[in-house]
Amino acid sequence: MFRVLITDPLSEQGIEKLQEASDVEVVQKTNLTPAELLTEVAEADALIVRSQTQVTAEVIEAGSRLKAIGRAGVGVDNIDIPAATARGILVVNAPDGNTISTAEHTFAMLISLARNIPQGYKSTIQGEWKRKAFVGVELNNKKLGIVGLGRIGSELASRAQAFHMKVIAFDPYLTEERAKKMGVHKASLEEVIQEADFITVHTPLTKETRHLIDEAAFAKMKEGVRILNCARGGIISEQALYDAIQSGKVAGAALDVFETEPPGEHPLFTLPQVIATPHLGASTREAQENVAIDVSEEILHILRDEPFKNAVNLPSIPAELQEKLRPYQTLAEKLGSFAVQTTEGALEEITVTYSGELAELDTAPLTRIILKGAISHYLSDVNDVSAPHLAKERGIRVTEQKVSRSHGFTHLIHVGMKTDNGETAVSGTLLNGLGSRIVKINDYSVDVQPEGHLLLVQHHDRPGAIGQVGSILGDQGVNIATMQVGRKDVGGHAIMMLHVDKQMSEELLKRLKDLEEIDDVKAIDL
């Protein structure tokens, strides 16, 4: 009999899921003191919390029988993940439970924005009757631009199509095949920004997506565009949005999230074109029920040694295997991240090939780490366990292969990626005393340490090409730490791999790409 301890209020539906299980004893004890929690958790096989209970390292240490900790929601900030991982305890959350709720809230904001419903309501209850003051626009035949076509973005697209909107979407993992199946037009971010009548963002907040919609993006938009953000505060620059509304470029904005929450007396609230809600995307009875059911089911799967999908930390790996794989973990993540940053288009397939001594081991944990490195370039909160699930959800095929030959290396990891716009490949190994090394990029042999700021330059092998690149970087105050050159034929195509001291700006990358001898330039941050 498994004992499941619930220490925060949980939807009855989730509790019933556990109570229906013949092999589970459910214990509900909320508002425990820290001392009481330590006593109760000592007898628990699993612990389910929301945001109130602080699952500290001390609590985890006291839970000598714990196999799993479940968070009925998305965030796990109140759980000491490293401490749980060190004890071999799985931590699971419920990232799918609020999908419909958030999509519906976004659509409610979309209609309200188009028809000035909040403004009209406020005016009417104040005794006014200003029909001409709140003339809106129809959704029919308008272009809805969706930035991020994951779970929520996809649900929003289907609802918009029911209102006869034309949906154009940008997502780094969106393939033509999936776009066609969904009835949306696959577009670049530039196209979405330039063509859409309404733009809504549904991406995680990462260093790549912070202020993704900024002053430059607003300058490219249609006059009278309307903006929505029910995803994460910070994806849209609030200052740039304020300026764009003031200038008349943006006709209105609907916001459920903010860079700082609560936002207080925000300048955007002084603009009548802005409607706002206090982060209500997941605030429905159904969403609360769903997260409770989802996490309860995950806990049952773990306790029964059945497959699960929403773990946010490492699964247990035999100590002997873990010891053998540990030296390769950093290399694996760097290879995944490096490879995806050299691709263009929507990722369709990842093939990982292990050679030499690695071919004799269970390398599934390394493959998960490679996927994490690749997918976390576009999504936040990706870990070794969730990465395969996220890849499958986005239609990315993952293949693991093993071969005995290792091309002169004791061990070699080869990562190939295929997108709807081409293919790329990178190989890496460990060198005694030197650590991780990238030894091949496509068909070019190199010796590159995979860390820091890198610049991959594809060029013609002609006199002066390298000098031109160095001259431009020098003019911009960019110091080159190391440089590798790879070529197959004299005077043919070649690559340069540069370590530089800081991130490259888009303007600088464009200057390099404009050089006659340069075919392409990619900035890679590891």
Q: At what angle do helices 99-115 and 151-162 cross, to 10 degrees?
A: 50
Band of the pLDDT at 383, cuts 50, 70, 90? confident
Q: Is the pLDDT of residue 316 over 60?
A: no
Q: What is the DSSP letter of 134?
A: G
Cα atoms in the Cβ-side hemisphere of radius 13 Å centred on 264: 2
Provide the percentage of residues in the chain whose pLDDT is more than 90.
66
Give me the mean pLDDT over the 363-378 stretch. 90
- Indicate whether 12 pLDDT > 80: yes
Distance of alpha carbon 443 from alpha carbon 384, whole angstroms: 29
Amino acid at 228: L
pLDDT band per the 50, 70, 90 thresholds, residue 391: confident
30 phi and psi angles, rounded to 5 deg: -100, 170
* pLDDT for 154: 94
- For residue 146, the surrounding DSSP H or E stretch is strand 143-147
Predicted local distance difference test score (pLDDT) of residue 307: 78
- Interatomic CA distance for residues 439 and 426, integer angstroms: 8
Cβ proximity of 331 and 157 under 8 Å: no
The larger pLDDT score, comparing residue 440 to residue 486, is at 440
Whether domain 99-276 has CATH 3.30.2350.10: the reply is no
More confident residue, 207 or 351: 351
At 319 the pLDDT is 64
Q: What is the mean pLDDT of residues 373-381?
A: 82
Structure confidence at residue 381 (pLDDT): 64
Instruction: Report the pLDDT value the prediction gives residue 318, as an integer from 0 to 100.
Output: 62
Distance, CA of 394 to CA of 230 (rounded, Å): 21
- Which of the residue ranges 72-86, 330-344, 453-467, 494-508 has the most confident prediction, judged by mean pLDDT? 330-344
pLDDT, tens digit, 9 for 90 and up, residues 231-267: 989 999 999 999 999 999 999 999 999 999 899 999 9
Q: Which of 12, 154, 138 lies closest to 96 in space, CA to CA?
A: 154
CA 195/CA 145 separation, integer angstroms: 8
Nearest to 76 by CA among 310, 316, 369: 310
C-alpha to C-alpha distance for 336 and 350, rounded to whole angstroms: 9
The SS3 of residue 26 is strand
Look at residue 222 in the predicted model and tell me its pLDDT.
Answer: 97
Of 43, 177, 261, 357, catalytic: 261
The mean pLDDT value of the chain amounts to 91
pLDDT at 490 over 80: no
What pLDDT shows up at residue 395?
A: 85
For 433, the 3-state DSSP assignment is: coil
Res. 350: pLDDT tops 70:
yes
- pLDDT 10s digits, 440-474: 999 898 999 999 999 999 988 888 888 889 889 98
**Which of these, 177, 182, 181, lies nearest to 167 by C-alpha position?**
182
Position 311 pLDDT exceeds 60: yes
- 169 pLDDT higher than 90: yes
Q: Single out the catalytic residue among 71, 105, 232, 414.
A: 232
Q: How confident is the model at residue 228 (pLDDT cuts 50, 70, 90)?
A: very high
Q: Quote helix, strand, coil % in the chain, to nearest 5.
A: 35, 25, 40
Asked if the domains at 2-96+286-303 and 99-276 fall in one CATH topology, the answer is yes
Q: CA 295 to CA 76: how far, in whole Å?
A: 13
| Residue 360 three-state SS | helix
What pLDDT was estimated at residue 407? 66
Before 9, cis peptide (omega within 30)?
no
CATH architecture of 341-525: 2-Layer Sandwich (3.30)
Candidate from 4-13, 22-31, 193-202, 428-437 with smallest mean pLDDT? 428-437
Q: So what's the pLDDT on residue 315?
A: 59
317: tokens are 């790996």
> Cα angle at 210 between 208 and 216, to 5 degrees?
95
What pLDDT, in 10s, does the model give residues 24-36?
999 999 999 999 9
Contact 228, 200 (CB under 8 A): yes
* Residues 518, 459 contacting (CB under 8 angstroms): yes
pLDDT the model gives residue 206: 79
Q: Is 462 a catalytic residue?
A: no
Asked whether the predicted pLDDT for residue 75 surpasses 80, the reply is no
The structural domains of the chain, with segments of one domain joined by +, span: 2-96+286-303, 99-276, 341-525
Q: Which of 498, 420, 421 minimizes the C-alpha distance to 454?
A: 498
Positive or negative: CA dihedral 127, 131, 135, 138: positive
Residue 134 structure tokens: 């709140």
Q: What percent of the chain has pLDDT over 70?
A: 97
pTM tops 0.85, yes or no = no
Amino acid identity at 525: D
Q: State how far the Cα of 98 lies from the Cα of 104, in Å rounded to an integer.
A: 10
Average pLDDT of the residues in 6-27: 94
Structure tokens at 354: 């292990």
Q: Is 279 a catalytic residue?
A: yes
- Rounded Cα distance between 2 and 300, Å, is 9
Q: Which CATH number fits domain 2-96+286-303: 3.30.230.70, 3.40.50.720, 2.60.40.10, 3.20.20.60?
A: 3.40.50.720
DSSP-assigned letter for residue 76:
-
Beta carbons of 78 and 56 less than 8 angstroms apart: no
Which structure tokens are listed for 353?
Answer: 């090939």
Residue-wise pLDDT for 268-301, tens only, equals: 999 999 999 999 998 899 998 999 999 999 999 9
Q: Could you give the CA distance from residue 99 to residue 93 in angstroms, rounded to a whole number?
A: 14
Q: How far is Cα 496 from Cα 485, in angstroms, rounded to an integer?
A: 5
Type of residue found at 69: I
Token pair for 305: 């040694």
Q: Distance between alpha carbon 452 and the CA centroid of its chain, in Å?
A: 21
Active-site annotation holder among 87, 151, 211, 279 = 279
Identify whether 261 is a catalytic site residue: yes
Buried b (16+ CB within 10 A) or exposed e, 283-294: ebeebbbbbbbb
How does pLDDT run across 193-218, given as a tens digit for each residue?
999 999 999 998 878 889 999 999 99
